[in-house]
Structure 1
Amino acid sequence: MHATPPRKRLARRLTATAAALAATTGVLATAAPADALSYGRTGRTVDVQLLSFNDLHGNLEPPQGSSGTVTEAQPDGTTKTVPAGGVEFLANSLRTARKGHEYSITAAAGDMIGASPLMTGLFHDEPTIEALNKIKLDATSVGNHEFDEGRAELLRMQKGGCHPKEGCFEKGKTFKGADFPYLAANVTDEKTGKQILKPYTIWKHKGVKIGIIGLTLEGTPDVVTAEGVKGLKFADEVETINKYANELDRQGVKSIVTLVHEGGMPASGAYNYDCDTPGAGAGISGAIVEIAKKVTPKVDALVTGHTHQAYACTIPDPSGAPRTVTSAASFGRVFTDTTLTYDRRTKDIVRTSVKGPRATNHVVNREQPKAADMTKLIDRWKTLAAPVANKPVGYITADINGRGSEAYEKPLGDVIADAQLEALAPADKGGAQIAFMNPGGIRSDLAFKASGGEGDGVVTYGEAFTVQPFTNMMQTKTLTGAQVIAALQQQVSGPNTDQPKILQISKGLTYTLDLTKKGADRVPASSVKLNGTAIDPAKSYRVAGNEFLMGGGDGFPAFKEGTDKRVGASDLDVFNAYLTAHSSKGAPLAPPAADRITVVK
């Protein structure tokens, strides 16, 4: 909410009057307002530090390959790649940043868990929650991945208790749950309409109160399996934020921060890009921009996530007052430090063009000391996971990239799609002729030189799990050629118009992606071919994909229209089987050429 600048002259007069009375009577100083006296001692305003991050996804160890680096803009206009991430370094970064700040909040914008590497994913992210407790996280919103294992498992993350099927993972220890509140303002039970978790929390310290609202994107059901969001309703982001901002305001809480798991795309991929250089908000696009423009001025700052981008932007609120909108990339590689100037009299955050919230992104570099308690935590859980994690499943000649590259077609995407086609091609397995892989389901690269120390070129079960952590079951369906073409066009149209989701495709399928055109026209139907022959719109084809994609997830309703469904093995089992069958120590797998999609710019 917009606050007026302090009236320092009045505060000085009140303090002077109180001092004069005290000097003459010795007892009348208490007649002056207590807050007026505090201005004299500490000033009318106080800076509150807000440290934030998002999309950790259980990456306690430093992420591999491109997932473990950030791009840093240099003063001369060039960029360089900086290794970043790992909870040992994130914890030290946050603890160092807090030094000298009596008023400091640490918050996150969702996807703390889910799609996690094996070391924590094997234990249903209990190690991640334990690490966040040690970091002293004050609050986080839920993200879509908090629902990967369903409502009951999310509630266990909050409240604690051993896994209902697998029990306790450490002898004599019961999982305690999160010390911090998970906030889900826009998530309710479909039948009862009741909140499944708290919508907000109020941070307090020495008379300073900050309301923190947390929520996920309204489109969560579109990016999570149907089972994960069964029985839940996800409300509009703006309506929800405004509702609870008004509720906090009625309680006298005038300073409000919102943690929303929705984001945008900055004009630059550098974590230290000056988002406001072209003008307020001009350096960012995407869903969060419209949300930020519409959210009530009662909200003073928006901490965002979901797109795994780094930005610190200023987007004016509906009243025209400046308001920060930030995101800290993903995987613990970046954190944001925002200064909120709190006015003790109005109880609000000062937001003017001269003095308002100031936000900066900082890289979590690996040259700093490691947090010893995090090293101990990682070692403990790695020991428990080792018998499964360290088993070799394949060999590679070089890095096989699945993320981070600007290219639409990823070499690792081709490998995964080929693995799925090979597994489901036999008639008794589904008879697949084409396989598709959603890009967001590829969670990491396969790195030749891995951090685990098991040997260059060796792919372990743990590394394969990090790439494909969802254990989605594979499906094969019958689609018409027209539906296959429609699916390819849905990559760049409908909800994917502004932020294309380019499917990874199996060998034999080729097409042209013409970026000079708009919408569905960017994939000309005549360019879509299978083994050199044009796809016939009237002909039927057997198409394979994971259950999330085949259920219409990520904005691909064409797959949902398929018939004659056949369920196969899990995506992880299929991937591991392919690596084992197509590589050995003497004949490792080389990165494919990634030449199936012809891109026209």
Structure 2
Amino acid sequence: MSATPQRSRAIRRLLAAAAGLTTVGALVAAIPNAGADDRGRGQQASKGRTVDVQLLSFNDLHGTLEEPQGSSGNVQERQPDGTVKPVPAGGIANLAAHLREARQGNEYSITAAAGDMIGGSPLLSGLFHDEPSIEAMNKLKLDVTSVGNHEFDEGRAELQRMQYGGCHPKDGCYEKDENGEEKIFSGAAFPYLAANVTVEKTGRPLLRPYWVWNHKGVKIGFIGVTLEGTPDVVTAEGVKGLKFGDEVKTINKYAKVLEKQGVKSIVALVHEGGAPASPAYNYDCDSPGPGDGISGPIVDIAKKVTPQVDAFVTGHTHQAYACSIPDPSGKPRTVTSAASIGRLYTDTTLTYDRKTKDIVRTSVRSMNHVVTRDPAKVEKFAPDMPLLIDKWKTLAAPIANQPQGYISANIDGRGSTAYEKPLGSLIADAQLEALAPADKGGAQIAFMNPGGIRSDLAYLKSGDEAVDGIVTYGEAFTVQPFTNMMNIVDLPGSQVIAALKQQVSGANEASIRILQVSKGLTYTLDLTKTGADRVVTDSIKLNGVAIDPSKTYRVAMNEFLAGGGDGFPALGTGTNKLVGASDLDVFNAYLAAHSTPSAPLAPPASGRITVVK
């Protein structure tokens, strides 16, 4: 999917504003090779039969280079007394510093990821089609990653550009070298693996299906897959011409290929995940027994994948866990996930047997670690990362710093654990207001998918309490980075009801996905019931009047939802479609219309969704 007209125009304005800068080239030249790959340094590995291999991993970075703001920038830590407290975490400089420190003294060290490295990114990366994030991951020495669904947000050609390099086909090159010449984007220095993603016309994998790490005769194979349901969570244009295969069948297929090549130690990088029973990153999900504290799709996958695979690095659900899930033979196997947006990393020890060339599974140890915000650690281990961020911030500043509105307190979105998220209500209200006029579509209801809310709106910016309550373009973009166009369609009341029930049934049965609704629409979510019955039909009302199944309503939503995305096929049946402004433009217009420095916008009150537990 190519750049939207809005984004392309914004970038052209940005580049024109930055054309006269003389510091960008200097900044590029000034970035040192600090934290260069230190694997191979430190103590010499044992010459005995086994050797410990360090596997560092993370997932779902989503182009988050700066420290994430608001509650979404915390991880939950379980305390000795059983309570849970939030710990601020994340930021690519902090992540790089932690990884580089962890590698010290480990001659055999691999860094791997499980997809969604880019896509749904804050403005600092998203404005430049995620080139800054690829550059950052090259610097922190990522060895390999699987693709995730968000790698397809801009289509397969753009994903291939991320891998192989080249300037954007519409926006061109963003940087210049020391001689003032265009600097060609080099692409990823690490392989993206996409074993279960094939091109329909040829049947061949879109990218490499596997990769083998080989250091002094120690060989470990990596197979990378994304969830088979990727087309359900990406726009149709983003996955056009591609097929997504079954995760288990694909991993088993390539495990056999690797074994024929003499590679018997295998790690699967799977962009699919689970849900632990506790949100705490240090929760023991193997209590009372292996894997008893985790549920979700990854459990079934792990139980079916061949025992030839020794460990899983997973993602997609943005959860934190380090579990042991039995393989088909009943033998426990490590399955990990490091939450999201660089707040955690996982350190796994794989004991490699030189004689059998396999991993000694009984010796596998794994633990998640918080990426604490530590300036001293960054200065010591990752001084190049702040320079990289400053370089891109200089280019983005003409657009990123423009005020869009003002808030009186935090308005939580991604970081909210409530079904009815304050920022979700605000976004839905903005969409309804913009598209309610007859000449704009005549919308009566607006729906927003929760996965499209990528951050919180923070009242205080991390490390800069002098700047408070201002919502900049960059922050608004971080909340809604996809620049989806708004659609207004006719839907019979029966389909409105069906869509609300699809929140808790069908594709969303196991992991419910609650739409954010505009003011005036109310209903009851009864969690004591099962399936679709959890949405109480008689409770669904618009402005106090029950939704009439036979009446037609004008419904506003982004183009992804209007295509039936996120498991809402009922929303894809709309007719008489009108295309409106982008979701970001609508959001910014609402902020401007409803807030001033002296009268900032307060978080919306709850009460649209009544939850019964």
Whether TM-score is above 0.5 comes out as yes
> Structure 2 counterpart of 1:342, which letter?
Y
CA distance in 1, matches of 2:246, 2:552: 39
The question of 1:530 aligning with 2:537 is answered no
Deviation, 1:310, is 0.3
CA distance in 1, matches of 2:342, 2:60: 8
What does residue 215 of structure 1 align with? 225
Deviation, 1:404, is 2.4
What does residue 103 of structure 2 align with? 98
What does residue 282 of structure 1 align with? 292
> Structure 2 counterpart of 1:144, which letter?
N
CA distance in 2, matches of 1:504, 1:540: 20
CA distance in 2, matches of 1:406, 1:585: 29
CA distance in 1, matches of 2:335, 2:80: 24
What does residue 372 of structure 2 align with? 365
Q: For residues 138-177 of structure 1, what are the structure 2 equivalents within 5 Å?
A: 138-171=143-176, 172=181, 173-177=183-187
TM-score normalised by L of structure 1: 0.92
Deviation, 1:41, is 6.7
What does residue 235 of structure 1 align with? 245
What does residue 137 of structure 2 align with? 132
Deviation, 1:46, is 0.4
CA distance in 2, matches of 1:109, 1:78: 30
- What secondary structure does 1:282 align onto? coil
What does residue 339 of structure 2 align with? 329
Change (3 A) 1:41 1:290: closer
Higher mean C-alpha displacement, 155-164 vs 274-283: 274-283
The question of 1:564 aligning with 2:569 is answered no
The question of 1:411 aligning with 2:422 is answered yes
What does residue 8 of structure 1 align with? none
What does residue 441 of structure 2 align with? 430
Change (3 A) 1:495 1:228: same
CA distance in 2, matches of 1:223, 1:287: 15
Q: 1:381 aligns with which of 392, 398, 417?
A: 392
Encode CA deviations 1:279-324: one digit per residue, 9 max, x unaligned.
1111100000000000000000000000000000000111122210
- What secondary structure does 1:369 align onto? helix
Q: 1:64 aligns with which of 38, 51, 69?
A: 69
CA distance in 1, matches of 2:421, 2:83: 25
Percent of residue pairs bearing the same amino acid type: 77
CA distance in 2, matches of 1:43, 1:495: 50
- What secondary structure does 1:42 align onto? coil
> Structure 2 counterpart of 1:216, which letter?
T
Deviation, 1:410, is 0.5
Encode CA deviations 1:499-550: one digit per residue, 9 max, x unaligned.
1100000010000000000011011111000000000011110000000011
The question of 1:491 aligning with 2:498 is answered no
Q: 1:347 aligns with which of 314, 334, 357?
A: 357
- What secondary structure does 1:459 align onto? strand
Q: 2:556 aligns with which of 524, 544, 552?
A: 544
Deviation, 1:405, is 2.4
Q: For residues 31-70 of structure 1, what are the structure 2 equivalents within 5 Å?
A: 42-70=47-75
Name stretches of at least 5 consecutive residues in structure 2 with no aligned partner: 1-44
CA distance in 2, matches of 1:473, 1:80: 38
CA distance in 1, matches of 2:77, 2:148: 27
Encode CA deviations 1:43-81: one digit per residue, 9 max, x unaligned.
100000100000000001000111110000111212211
> Structure 1 counterpart of 2:76, which letter?
T
The question of 1:273 aligning with 2:283 is answered yes
- What secondary structure does 1:88 align onto? helix
Q: 1:445 aligns with which of 431, 456, 462?
A: 456
What does residue 115 of structure 1 align with? 120
Q: For residues 232-311 of structure 1, what are the structure 2 equivalents within 5 Å?
A: 232-311=242-321
CA distance in 1, matches of 2:441, 2:128: 32
> Structure 2 counterpart of 1:48, which letter?
V
CA distance in 2, matches of 1:332, 1:481: 42
User: Number of matched residues?
Assistant: 559
The question of 1:508 aligning with 2:520 is answered yes
CA distance in 1, matches of 2:165, 2:236: 24
Larger Rg belongs to: 1
What does residue 9 of structure 1 align with? none
CA distance in 1, matches of 2:76, 2:239: 35
What does residue 312 of structure 1 align with? 322
TM-score normalised by L of structure 2: 0.90
What does residue 6 of structure 2 align with? none
> Structure 2 counterpart of 1:326, which letter?
T
CA distance in 1, matches of 2:288, 2:586: 47
The question of 1:191 aligning with 2:201 is answered yes
CA distance in 1, matches of 2:101, 2:461: 29
Encode CA deviations 1:190-217: one digit per residue, 9 max, x unaligned.
1111111000000000010000011100
CA distance in 2, matches of 1:80, 1:192: 51
- What secondary structure does 2:555 align onto? strand
What does residue 192 of structure 2 align with? 182
